[in-house]
Structure formats: C-alpha cells, structure tokens
C-alpha cells in the first residue's frame, strides 16, 4: 500500500464516534446531536487506537482511463464530505440573510406557516414554500434565519432566496449573507 498524503487523513473529534462497514463501504457518524450515514466510492483505513481516518486510492466503482486524476478528485471529495458529516452531527447549522434596500422585506404568511412572502422592489410579490426539513424564522422584517440539519440543503435554499435579488455593485442593495461585504463600484463621473 502506498503512503497516504496528509490532506487525505482526517482527525476524528473527541465528541464523535465513527462506525465503518468495510463490506458495504458505509461510514456512520454518531455525534452529540444526531447520527448520520454516508455511502462512499472509495475505501477507508482506520488504524486501531488512533482517532484518524485515512482515505485510500482503492476504488469501489469502475474508473476511466484517466485513473490517477479521477481517484485524487474522489479522495478530495470524500475527505470534504466526511468533514461535513462531523459538522452536521456535532453542531447546529444555520444561515443568516439580510435584506438591504428601501422597502425590501420578508414576511411569513399568517394562515400558512410554511410560506414566505418577499417584497423586493418588483411590481409583484414573491412567494416561497419552505421545505419540510428546514425551519425559517423572520425575527425582523429585514433578517431571515435558516436552521436545519442538512448542510447542503441550507446552503441551497439560502442561495435560491438570494437569487431573487442579488446585491448590485453600485448601491449595494439586495439580499446578502450575514458576513458578506460588497465592494461598491464607482458611479459615472460628471
């Protein structure tokens, strides 16, 4: 077996327990908040008495002729997915969006709890149906909090909401992520 690079070795946090099924190639992560599983396309090695996961170059699926590059991409993706699994099982995941602009508001519809209403300066209102596994709160009319257990789903929903009114580069109006800063362009000179 070849030596595995350092970027493909992952340190397991103390508050997380890992169970790896070698035959089915499934890794299960048990954290303080929940338990989650992931099916892998590549083999893992877990040395005994060490809190380390090593991602090997042995593939489970068939790979094309451009083998080496393909394996490295699968190794990197697997490492990122396992690290994401650790975050999902140990912490609460949320995303904050802020609405900047005159009259840009978000409301939750009173009769239906699972529908959001956006006023974004268009001639019409925009309605958005909240997915079942996510919780969305509007504490202020200009701030939106998205909570959930799936990291990818939260980022996808926040990107969809942000796409309704992306921040413009001249005045900075639009829907922004919480820590996002827009570099404003200089306007027309007279």
At 117-156, the pLDDT tens digits run 999 999 999 999 999 888 998 888 999 999 988 888 999 9
pTM: 0.79
Chain CA centroid to CA 165, Å: 21
Residues 6+ apart with CB under 8 A from 110: none
Instruction: For the chain, list the domains and their CATH numbers.
Output: 6-90 (3.90.930.12), 93-177 (3.90.930.12)
Residue predicted with more confidence, 98 or 56: 98
- In degrees and rounded to multiples of 5, residue 158 shows phi and psi of -65, -35
> Rounded distance, CA 32 to CA 86, Å?
10
At 98-109, the pLDDT tens digits run 999 999 999 988
């Amino acid at each position: 077996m070849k030596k595995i690079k350092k970027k493909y070795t992952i340190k397991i946090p103390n508050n997380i327990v890992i169970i790896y099924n070698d035959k089915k190639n499934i890794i299960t992560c048990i954290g303080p908040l929940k338990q989650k599983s992931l099916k892998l396309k590549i083999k893992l090695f877990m040395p005994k008495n060490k809190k380390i996961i090593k991602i090997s170059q042995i593939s489970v699926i068939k790979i094309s002729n451009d083998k080496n590059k393909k394996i490295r991409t699968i190794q990197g993706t697997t490492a990122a997915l396992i690290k994401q699994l650790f975050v999902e099982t140990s912490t609460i995941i949320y995303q904050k969006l802020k609405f900047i602009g005159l009259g840009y508001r978000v409301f939750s519809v009173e009769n239906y709890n699972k529908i959001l209403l956006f006023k974004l300066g268009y001639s019409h209102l925009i309605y958005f149906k909240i997915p079942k596994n996510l919780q969305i709160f509007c504490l202020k009319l200009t701030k939106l909090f998205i909570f959930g257990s799936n990291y990818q789903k939260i980022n996808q929903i926040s990107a969809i909401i942000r796409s309704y009114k992306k921040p413009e580069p001249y005045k900075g109006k639009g829907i922004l992520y919480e820590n996002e800063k827009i570099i404003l362009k200089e306007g027309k000179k007279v």
